[in-house]
Amino acid sequence: MAALRASLRYFGMANDIPVGIRIIRGANRTLGRVAPSLASRLSRRIFSTPRKFTPREWEAPFEALARRERLPSGLSVLRAGDGPPVALIHGWEGRATQFAAMAPALLACGFSVVAIDAPGHGHSRGKESDPYRFAEALIDVSATFGPLHAAVGHSMGGGSIALALSSGLSLSRAALIASPSSLHDVLHRFSAAMHLPPKATEHFVRDARRRITARGYRTDDIEGALRAVTAPALVIHALDDKEVPFADAERIAGFWLGSTLLRVEHVGHRRILRDPITIAAVAEYFSAGVASED
């Protein structure tokens, strides 16, 4: 039950579960056995359709500090500063303004920031999204605003950095915060949260991987991407993260050559973005990267 609730929290469904999702979860035990393909399609639609939430009060200063721009692709970004560009990408059902505490620290170090509303999130266009659309957003931002010095990704956004790097994105440094290490695990956690029986789970996972291959990616998992990249990375994770286990950070650090693992405590999965230790570590790590290039 604890594992199930953690999976639901990761996908924004632990509290106030919509009636429609409750019905589908309840029906999946039967529907998944007699019509596994149909159950898989219904669950995939939920998996790829993020809900949008009103920003918290503490996020408002970032909206006022930065200028909002829309890219031709439909992406909406917040830009501020004039130094080496750092991309910021949130997690599932998040938004650019969740970096309101981190952005000023990066600006103070002389960087510019480009905070992204991922496809289907925040002010960006689209209704569906997934880790690969997140990765494409990073590549789009780099192509639009010039080569990125670094990127910070939270949760799914962190995994998307690895995917983007394996698909040609160039970075001097990266920071992954509270990120999953395996798309395979993410898909299976979601399947368990939706009460899909084994046969329907097979359909769900196979369909997800087929869609990834159809978009031309060389790898269909975060782990495979991690093994293919060489940019130095800082991996930050809270020991008390109930949404993405700390073991995921250990796996990322083990796969990613040249990475450094930082353990933080008592900040969970989302408060970690406002944690002073996390923010200072990212700013220092990126600044050291600029110094080493001089």
Is the domain defined by 61-185+209-293 classed in CATH 3.20.20.70? Answer: no
pLDDT at 281: 98
* Strand pairing category for 150-154 and 173-177: parallel
Question: With 70 as the cut, is the pLDDT of residue 11 above it?
Answer: no
Rounded to an integer, the average pLDDT of 171-200 is 89
pLDDT at 78: 98
List, for residues 92-113, the tens digit of each pLDDT value: 999 999 999 999 999 999 999 9
Q: Worst-scoring range by mean pLDDT, 138-147, 176-185, 274-283?
A: 176-185
Rounded to an integer, the average pLDDT of 164-176 is 92
Question: With 80 as the cut, is the pLDDT of residue 207 above it?
Answer: yes
List, for residues 22-36, the tens digit of each pLDDT value: 666 776 777 677 788
The pLDDT confidence band at residue 21, using thresholds 50, 70 and 90, is: low
Q: Domain locations in the chain?
A: 61-185+209-293
Rounded to an integer, the average pLDDT of 205-222 is 69
**Of 18 and 157, more confident:** 157
The pLDDT confidence band at residue 293, using thresholds 50, 70 and 90, is: low
Q: Name the percent of the chain lying above pLDDT 70.
A: 85
